[in-house]
Amino acid sequence: MNNESEIINQQNVIDNLNNEAWKYRVQDSAQALKLSKKAVLLAVAINYTKGKAEGYRGLGFSYIRLSQHKKANALLGKSLSLFKHLEDLQGQSDVYEYLGIIKRSLGDYRTSLEFLFTSLELRKQTKYLEGESLSCYHLGVTYKYLGNYDKALNYLFESLSIAQTIHYWVSESYALNLIGLIYSETGAFAKALKYYHQSLKLRIEAGDKWGEAGCLDNIGLIYFKLKDCQKAIEFCTRSLTTSIEINDKKGQGNSLFHLGDISRELNNDDEARKYGNKSLKIRREIGDKKGEAEILLFLAELPARGLNQRHKETLLGLLGKALILGHEVNALDLLSKIHFSYYSLYKLYECFKDALSHLELFIEFEKKLHKEAVSERIQNLEITHRAEQSKNEAEIYRLRNIELVELYEESKRQKEKIEEQKRLVEESFIELKSTQKQLVQREKMASLGELTAGIAHEIQNPLNFVNNFSEVSAEMMDEMQKEFVAGNKEEGVALALDIKQNLDKILHHGKRADAIVKGMLMHSRSNSGVKELTNINALADEYLRLAYHGLRAKDKSFNAILNTDYDETIPKINIISQDMGRVILNLITNAFYVVDEKKQLIEGFEPTIWLNTKKVGDKVLISVKDNGNGIPQKIIDKIFQPFFTTKPAGQGTGLGLSLSYDIVKAHGGELKVNTKEDEGSEFVINLPVA
């Protein structure tokens, strides 16, 4: 009894420590970190699951504040497993929120959204309003990072509304601050200052030093934009001092960068360079790749200390590093600025050919920035996420089998049956169009668009037959009724036999359409995202045949020699088979496109595709090779970029290779290309065996 009482007392102590850490996590992260560490030590000692789950959650949040994302991620992973074991949905929602913050900090915005939507759903289920307001806030942050201000503001005002209703200062102050930032970036400086000062007031009252530092820095930036550099320095310096006080590395990096920018405006280039290098060191330390690229660009654009070759190479080195990082995080706005800086530098040194090349790239990125493509891609992720909640609804895209009745029934009933069949065919065609639209959409996400056109072409023929025979049969039914009424029994029976033949044809073509649509649905279905042991040889061969027959359905004149060499020693590997199938499909479809393109230009050319698999050590290689025209060296570095395509307008979205690259990378593998102009290309997928 005493032992049981002692355990309960220890659990109470641990609960109190975790509650205190949770209470102070925003205002005093250092104190919260100490309390969480103590709670975890005690909880591990007595194997107290709830105490460990909450303690790891608190530690994870504190390490996020310290920009130690790797450590935070590991602790939050432990916390999530324990909360799932406890079936604690509220605890899980907190962890998903923090994982979303980490992914956003590392530039993985897609995964950030997935975690944050999961967090929001759990919080809505449990009516956890404080958490719901925070999830909405962080969704606003991620959308803001993606440049989708409309969606960002929608979530931020939703967060603000919930927070003000329940008087929750944390998300209220957060939302006010970010709304101010968005207004600042759109030039509404008076509105921005209003929201910033409201947020600052709440944070000072609550003792939230982290939030206070952020608000001070943002207000400093507003004054900088208003050309009041002295006030800008005052607020940014206050922000830096506060960030140092609480050991907020990210905040320090931001304030130092902004002070460097202000110094540059005041023509104090040495001071600007000093602040920039300090910020660069911190951003590298915390793994802020976009921030690091931003500083490298800043340093490269500081006024030159003489136009000598050595200085030129230094600046090109800075821009080269910035460009690599910009591509890693897919920061289109930053890539645009980097190419313009390249253009300016080459122009300054009278390297006009290189200058023109980067000016063209700058214009290309500016066009991309002004298109809705990025926003559309994120909206698709949201739609996909919502769809995961109701996968069973996908079953509505199935053509209904039509049962036909014997013709020798009473004539009026026969006519009604044909009219009913016409209605069902029309409904089926509408459903088919909907399915086609889904496949066209998935072309953006899974490289299936090439198949859609061919399959859609195939489906039109049986549907035309069904419609035509239905209309003719209905007219013949009217004639048959007239013959029977007039007493012409022989004519009536003859018409009845003709109608029966028509109905047999309708049944035949209806079944043909049904089979085609079922095939479409099989390849357009949503996947669960679960890895499973898969025979990679069988998968590759299946998608080779799928791609070939899909293209043949679209273009009967297309032919190619298909060479396969599958390594039978490859064991089953753990992959999301549908995703990897889409990668293989995309590579094969691209190969078919380039060899067909070459065939149109060279008489007697034999299009050839090689599909090989091979086990090399602990890796599996899947190779798709063609004898097309190869990829020009000047664009080889762009082919995995989103929205880059060499196909004519309307024939490609430029998402296929980019998303294939992402899928392979998510499997812990690599996607590489070897190419030689005029001879062909080879794409190689490199996957781990285990």
pTM score over 0.85 = no
* Shared fold status for 10-86 and 88-188: yes
Q: What is the pLDDT of residues 460-477, one digit of tens each?
A: 666 767 776 777 777 778
Describe the crossing of helices 49-65 and 89-105 by its angle, rounded to 10 degrees: 20
* 88-188: CATH architecture: Alpha Horseshoe (1.25)
Distances (CA, A) of 503 to 415, 422, 490, 508: 12, 12, 20, 9
Check pLDDT > 60 for residue 456.
Answer: no
Check pLDDT > 90 for residue 125.
Answer: yes
State the burial class of residue 551 (Cβ atoms within 10 Å of its Cβ: 0-12, 13-18, 19+).
buried
Report d(CA 622, CA 109) in Å as an integer. 29
Mean pLDDT value across residues 431-435: 49
Check pLDDT > 60 for residue 331.
Answer: yes
Contact residues for 527 (Cβ-Cβ < 8 A; gap 6+) = 576, 578, 579
17: enclosing H helix or E strand = helix 2-24
Q: What is the pLDDT of residues 476-513, one digit of tens each?
A: 787 878 877 787 878 777 777 877 887 877 777 777 66
Q: Where are the domains of the chain?
A: 10-86, 88-188, 308-387, 390-524, 532-688
DSSP helix, strand, coil percent of the chain (3-state; round to 5) = 75, 5, 20
State the burial class of residue 499 (Cβ atoms within 10 Å of its Cβ: 0-12, 13-18, 19+).
buried
Check pLDDT > 80 for residue 43.
Answer: yes
Is the CA virtual torsion 416, 422, 425, 429 positive or negative? Answer: negative
Q: What single letter denotes the amino acid at residue 273?
A: R
Q: What is the pLDDT of residues 14-34, one digit of tens each?
A: 999 999 999 888 778 788 899
Q: State the DSSP code for 651.
A: S
Question: Backbone dihedral region of 574: left (phi > 0), alpha (psi from -120 to 50 degrees) or beta?
Answer: beta
Check pLDDT > 60 for residue 1.
Answer: no
Whose CA is closest to 342, among 366, 370, 317? 317
169: enclosing H helix or E strand = helix 169-185
| 556 or 379: which leads in pLDDT | 556
- The fold adopted by the segment(s) 532-688 is Heat Shock Protein 90 (3.30.565)
Contact residues for 18 (Cβ-Cβ < 8 A; gap 6+) = 35, 36, 39, 51, 54, 55, 58
Identify the CATH number of the domain defined by range 10-86.
Answer: 1.25.40.10
| 472 or 160: which leads in pLDDT | 160
Report d(CA 26, CA 58) in Å as an integer. 11
Q: Which of 128-142, 163-177, 361-375 has the lowest mean pLDDT?
A: 361-375
Contact residues for 402 (Cβ-Cβ < 8 A; gap 6+) = 421, 424, 425, 506, 507, 510
Cβ atoms within 10 Å of 522's Cβ, excluding its own: 8
Q: What is the pLDDT of residues 587-615, one digit of tens each?
A: 998 999 899 888 888 888 999 999 999 99
Distances (CA, A) of 392 to 188, 389, 523, 576, 620: 46, 9, 16, 20, 35
Both ends of the chain: CA-CA distance in Å?
49
